[in-house]
Amino acid sequence: MEYHYQSPWFVEALQKEDNLKINQLDLNLNTDVCIIGGGYTGLWTALKIKEKNPNTNIILIEKDLCGSGASGRNGGCMIPQSTKFQGIKKIVGLEDAKKIVMATEAAVNNIKDYCIKNNIDAQIRDDGVLYGATNKFHKGAFESLIKDLNENQINSWERLSKEKVQLLTGSKKFIDGYYSPIGGSLQPALLVRGLKKTAENKGIKIYEKSAALSYKEKKEIIIKTKKGSIKCNKLIIAMNAWTPSLLPFLSRSVILVSSDMIISEPIKNELQDLGLNSGLVILDSNLFTHYCRTTPDGKIILGKGGNTFSFGNKVIDSFDGPSTIEKFLKKSFKSFYPSLKNVKITKSWNGPSERTKTGFPFFGYHPNNKNISYAFGYSGNGIPTCYVGGEILSSMALEEDNEWTKSNFCKGPLKMFPPEPFRWLGAMVIRNAVRRKEKNQEIGKNPFWIDKQLAKLAVSVGRVDFEKKKN
């Protein structure tokens, strides 16, 4: 599936390219490393390998245009893994959990510095992240997390007063909240297209509109495309939602679910009146959270994850079109910002987000061939984590013996979902329970016991467990 209904980010990014040239693979080539996937992970990996070992020959192939998938259509929110620290710790242990939190927080500055150094105008605004509570059930929900982060000397979060939260968010809907200065927003498609250009400038060969159809494992690995082939020593698969098409053994490791967005017309004056004049990322307290941010040209975006679940993890047609919950998002928008009720929404869109059972990504080698490695399952915190993913995959490809290749993150999927139809049916039951629970909480009503229990099963699939233990 190629995307035909693109995000406004991607449209803007392509318009800024003076001479859009598409190189398709129509030859049989040899290389040291072949990377399949032209999004953040694939490009960061290529750049990291080149940085570490400049003599390495690298070919990257992409089925559509680089960035046309999740990398160019996400919300543009830079959110580190710190809010998932407690969950990550339970799965991979304390040291690896601290490692990924610190690495993804460092990635925010690293991405900014890299863009400055390589003249990539990705509209980066590192103004932080704010999680806010919109009802009494979520007040004080970060306290356990903050205590844990403090004990491990990796805490960047502080609790804000109601007045401060409302000032920063421009919304009376928030009654409590937590802020970290580490995070922010960017134009996601400008970043990925900028990385593509940088990679080409550094000698990395990139072929677009060149989907990998299959691969064979012999003494060397041979990847087949429609018009050509690539023979390589190392193969890296960074295909995001499409990964199971080449690696079927990973088909039960994730569940594909849409993240949906709307964007407004330019309303710079109105946003100024609300105090929304920075790149702050604002998220609410729901498990399938709303996320909100502004753009430098005075638009506002509102999104929400956890909507359309695909059966059999197929990248379905509805992922390439307007949001199927556009009316709901518009209603949410008016709820957060009633003064903007007459503002025109210019576009809605969505895309597949692969969520793991643990809530964080994993990396690994093909069980039958250590020359084939992969990354999968970013689970909603992709931008800074993809930067780290590039470091991890480059270490694996170059056979480095370091903290990443030794970590639990490089052992492949640590938990699996049940087979179909049980996966999809279970997802529907849990999603609907989460929706009922959150709807009741928003009106101040205690949720049904069964909905609270079922919602606990979805914690790993959401961005953060923003819920008091007693609830």
Q: Give yes or no: residues 435 and 391 share one domain.
A: no
Say which residues have a Cβ less than 8 Å from residue 230's Cβ, sequence separation at least 6.
25, 28, 29, 30, 31, 34, 59, 61, 222, 223
Looking only at the bridges linking them, the beta strands covering 369-376 and 28-36 are unpaired
Q: Would 470 be classed as within a structural domain?
A: no
Q: Is 225 helix (H, G, I), strand (E, B) or coil?
A: coil
- Give the C-alpha separation, 178 to 166, whole Å: 12
Encoded tokens for 121: 């105008």
Q: Would 469 be classed as within a structural domain?
A: no
What confidence tier does 470 reach under pLDDT thresholds 50, 70, 90?
very low
Asked which of 386, 403, 419 is the last residue of a domain, the reply is 419
Q: Would 288 be classed as within a structural domain?
A: yes
Encoded tokens for 456: 């606990």
Residue 460: per-residue pLDDT: 58
**164 burial level (CB within 10 Å; 0-12, 13-18, 19+):** middle
Q: Give yes or no: residues 414 and 427 share one domain.
A: no
Residue 4: per-residue pLDDT: 80
Residue 153: per-residue pLDDT: 97
Which value, in Å, is the radius of gyration of the alpha carbons in the chain? Answer: 21
Residue 1: per-residue pLDDT: 59
What confidence tier does 471 reach under pLDDT thresholds 50, 70, 90?
very low
Q: Would 468 be classed as within a structural domain?
A: no
- Please, are residues 413 and 251 in contact by the beta-carbon 8 Å criterion? no
Q: Would 471 be classed as within a structural domain?
A: no
- Please, are residues 185 and 77 in contact by the beta-carbon 8 Å criterion? yes
Range of the domain at 435: 422-461
Q: Give yes or no: residues 316 and 457 share one domain.
A: no
- Please, are residues 390 and 44 in contact by the beta-carbon 8 Å criterion? yes
- Give the C-alpha separation, 12 to 72, whole Å: 10
Q: Phi first, then psi: what are they for 21, rounded to 5°?
A: -115, 125
Q: Give yes or no: residues 194 and 338 share one domain.
A: yes
Q: Would 193 be classed as within a structural domain?
A: yes
Q: Which of 103, 170, 98 is nearest to 130 (CA)?
A: 170
Q: Would 192 be classed as within a structural domain?
A: yes
pLDDT digits (tens, 9 = 90+) for 96-147: 999 999 999 999 999 999 999 999 999 999 999 999 999 999 999 899 999 9
Q: Give yes or no: residues 393 and 428 share one domain.
A: no
Give the CATH number for residue 309.
Answer: 3.50.50.60
Query: Average pLDDT in the 155-159 region?
Result: 97
Q: Give yes or no: residues 367 and 440 share one domain.
A: no
How distant is the alpha carbon of residue 319 from its chain centre? 15
Q: Phi first, then psi: what are they for 456, rounded to 5°?
A: -60, -30
Letter string b/e over residues 431-467, b meaning 16 or more CB atoms within 10 A of that residue's CB: bebbbbbbebbbeeeebeeebbebbeebbbbbbbbbb
Total domain count, the chain: 2
Q: Give yes or no: residues 56 and 99 share one domain.
A: yes
Q: Is 106 helix (H, G, I), strand (E, B) or coil?
A: helix
User: What percent of the chain is modeled with pLDDT above 70?
Assistant: 97
Q: Give yes or no: residues 117 and 62 share one domain.
A: yes
Q: Phi first, then psi: what are they for 250, rounded to 5°?
A: -100, 5
Say which residues have a Cβ less than 8 Å from residue 92's Cβ, sequence separation at least 6.
100, 407, 408, 409, 414
Encoded tokens for 82: 């710190």
Largest CA distance in the chain: 65
Encoded tokens for 14: 């392509």
Q: Which of 142, 163, 150 is nearest to 98 (CA)?
A: 150
Encoded tokens for 123: 């509209």
Q: Phi first, then psi: what are they for 378, rounded to 5°?
A: -70, -20
What confidence tier does 252 reach under pLDDT thresholds 50, 70, 90?
very high
- Report whether pLDDT(336) > 60: yes
pLDDT digits (tens, 9 = 90+) for 264-321: 999 999 999 999 999 999 999 888 899 999 999 999 999 998 889 999 888 888 888 9
- Give the C-alpha separation, 325 to 333, whole Å: 12
Report how far apart, in Å, the C-alpha atoms of 42 and of each of 35, 47, 183, 402 are.
6, 9, 22, 20
Encoded tokens for 51: 């940085």
- Please, are residues 78 and 84 in contact by the beta-carbon 8 Å criterion? no
Task: Kindly report the average pLDDT of the chain as a whole number.
Answer: 93
Q: Give yes or no: residues 248 and 309 share one domain.
A: yes
Q: Would 439 be classed as within a structural domain?
A: yes
Tokens 């993890």 correspond to 313
pLDDT digits (tens, 9 = 90+) for 415-449: 999 999 998 999 899 999 999 999 999 989 999 99
Q: Give yes or no: residues 354 and 428 share one domain.
A: no
- Please, are residues 213 and 226 in contact by the beta-carbon 8 Å criterion? yes
Q: Where are the beta strands (DSSP E) in 121-253?
A: 129-133, 158-160, 176-180, 184-185, 205-207, 214-217, 221-224, 229-237
Report how far apart, in Å, the C-alpha atoms of 25 and of each of 82, 225, 236, 280 are.
40, 8, 17, 41
Letter string b/e over residues 248-264, b meaning 16 or more CB atoms within 10 A of that residue's CB: eebbbbbbbbbbbbbbb
- Please, are residues 462 and 433 in contact by the beta-carbon 8 Å criterion? no
Q: Which of 104, 260, 276, 88 is nearest to 180 (CA)?
A: 104
Q: Give yes or no: residues 414 and 426 share one domain.
A: no
Q: How many CB atoms lie within 10 A of CB 209?
A: 17
Query: Average pLDDT in the 214-224 region?
Result: 91
Report the range of poorest mean pLDDT among 283-287, 330-334, 466-470. Answer: 466-470
Q: Give yes or no: residues 52 and 142 share one domain.
A: yes
- Please, are residues 466 and 286 in contact by the beta-carbon 8 Å criterion? yes
